[in-house]
Amino acid sequence: MAADYRPMWTELGMDLKAHDALLDALGKAYQDVFLSQKVRPEGMSYLDFVMSEVHGLRIKELNDARATGRKVVGTFCVFVPEEIVLAADAICVGLCAGAEFGFEEAEKLLPRNTCGLIKSAFGFKLTKVCPYTQSSDMVVGETTCDGKKKAYEIFKDIQPNVYIMEIPQMKNTADRQLFASEYWRFKEAVEKLTGVTITAERLKKAIITVNNKRKALHRLALLRAADPAPISGLDSLLINQVAFYDDPVRFTGAINKICDELEGRIKQNSGVAPKHTPRVLISGCPMSVPNWKLPLVIETSGAVIVGEESCVGERGQRNLVDEKPHTIEGEMEALIDRYFKIDCAVFTPNQDRTDHIISMAKEYKADGVIHYALQFCSPYTVESYLVEKELAKHGIPMLKIETDYSMEDVGQLKTRIEAFIETFRQPAWSH
């Protein structure tokens, strides 16, 4: 980090000593996981810069914006519509955390058998190491899984201005009505927070901004269908993670530049791994920064990841909002339509997700699927049974992984993943 941000962090109420320890671990992990990769696209230097300043320059930007009266809204779930936040001239940031940090503190408030995502968000807050949480003027929780829903009741004690959005569990007409009324209620809450009335014009602009971001991410996703793969799964995951923190317009420009570069690589038939390298699709729970464990194990075990069916990935970013409506009612309907399609495992039944995994596996020419569930996450661990059954009908092999943020099981994971990859590795003579 170029500047001294310590006065800013102190002002945000952070614990500098604990934060130093976090940054130290993060910097080392970043070096080992990302900077050690070979033949990275040059455009990834933008992501390296963003990550080196993720607690510095970006937080300063948020701080400067807040000083002019703009608000920051922190979210934990892709059901929270970023467009509504942007339309009120506020800034939307993701707060999910992917590190085993502050778990001891978190476990004083939560049962031990709570998933790592929830414990990590609590741990970061309790140990005062997350400048995004500290900068948030409103934090939006949602009633998705039981773990999150109940945890927010406690989170309210440690974080001011927690807003709860109700998410239904089925996709019938009555559920859509509830979902729609919750989006209107959220719009009002954001207007109240910011003092800005969300007009049709403002919302249209925000819809276009977020659509452009999603188009760039989808462009990237499609380029990964090429063999040799033009970019690693690790770098692609990083891009999807940064999508939750960075300024959306600047980010979109940087990702489109990377895509231009990848198109050049594809034309020259070059990539990050040789042609015919085993190709894996990851499906399951979202992976938040700095949760890079599983992709690292996969990509150092002889495979390349060609897609993520995840909220930090295609589940969270696919489907655009219809840009045609020009009244606020029409735009809100278009938003609701888009978000109601998200096929999170908290819904029942959830056939769309399985169908999407199959279509992704085919489109990105994956040889197999690695289903990733965080320990104690019932929605995804339970749903993995049906996913595996359906994939088998299409001849797509699947490996189920249930893990957490600790590094203890890395050796065991590597053994299982290497064995899985061997089942579809093509012998060299067949190329």
Establish if 203 lies at the interface with ligand SF4 (CB under 6 A): no
Give CA torsion, residues 328, 334, 338, 340, to 10 deg.
80
Establish if 237 lies at the interface with ligand SF4 (CB under 6 A): no
CB neighbour list of residue 143: distance below 8 Å, 6 or more residues apart? 149, 164, 165, 166, 167
Residue closer to ligand SF4 (CB basis): 142 or 299: 142
- Give the integer Cα–Cα distance in Å for 237 and 51: 13
Quote the tokens at residue 317: 């970013």
CB neighbour burial string for 311-337, b if at least 16 within 10 angstroms, e if fewer:
bbbbbbbbbbbeeebeebeebbbbbbe
Least CB distance to ligand SF4 at residue 197 (A): 28
Residue closer to ligand SF4 (CB basis): 135 or 384: 384
Scanning residues 79 to 108, which ones bind ligand SF4 (CB under 6 A)? 79
Quote the tokens at residue 3: 């500047």
Cα angle 334, 217, 364; round to 5? 110
* Selected range binding ligand SF4 among 51-59, 140-148, 170-178, 384-392, rule: CB under 6 A: 140-148
- Give the integer Cα–Cα distance in Å for 229 and 272: 6
- Give the integer Cα–Cα distance in Å for 274 and 259: 20
- Give the integer Cα–Cα distance in Å for 277 and 409: 25
* Selected range binding ligand SF4 among 115-123, 248-256, 332-340, 414-422, rule: CB under 6 A: 115-123
**First-to-final CA distance of the chain:** 46
Identify the residue among 118, 223, 262, 413 touching ligand SF4 (CB under 6 A): 118
Instruction: Tell me, residue by residue from 52 to 81, as one string, x for binding to ligand SF4 by CB under 6 A and - for no binding.
Output: -------------------------xxx--
Residue closer to ligand SF4 (CB basis): 118 or 296: 118
Establish if 342 lies at the interface with ligand SF4 (CB under 6 A): yes
CB 242 within 8 A of CB 30: no
**Other beta carbons within 10 Å of 300:** 15
Establish if 210 lies at the interface with ligand SF4 (CB under 6 A): no
Least CB distance to ligand SF4 at residue 296 (A): 19
Residue closer to ligand SF4 (CB basis): 251 or 372: 372
* Selected range binding ligand SF4 among 35-43, 62-70, 143-151, 415-423, rule: CB under 6 A: 143-151
Residue closer to ligand SF4 (CB basis): 15 or 337: 337
Identify the residue among 54, 93, 145, 398 touching ligand SF4 (CB under 6 A): 145
Least CB distance to ligand SF4 at residue 161 (A): 20
Instruction: Tell me, residue by residue from 262 to 291, as one string, x for binding to ligand SF4 by CB under 6 A and - for no binding.
Output: -----------------------xx-----
How many residues touch ligand SF4 under the rule CB under 6 A: the total is 20
Establish if 401 lies at the interface with ligand SF4 (CB under 6 A): no
Residues in contact with ligand SF4 by the rule CB under 6 A: 77-79, 115, 117-118, 144-145, 147-148, 285-286, 311, 342, 344, 346, 374, 377, 379-380
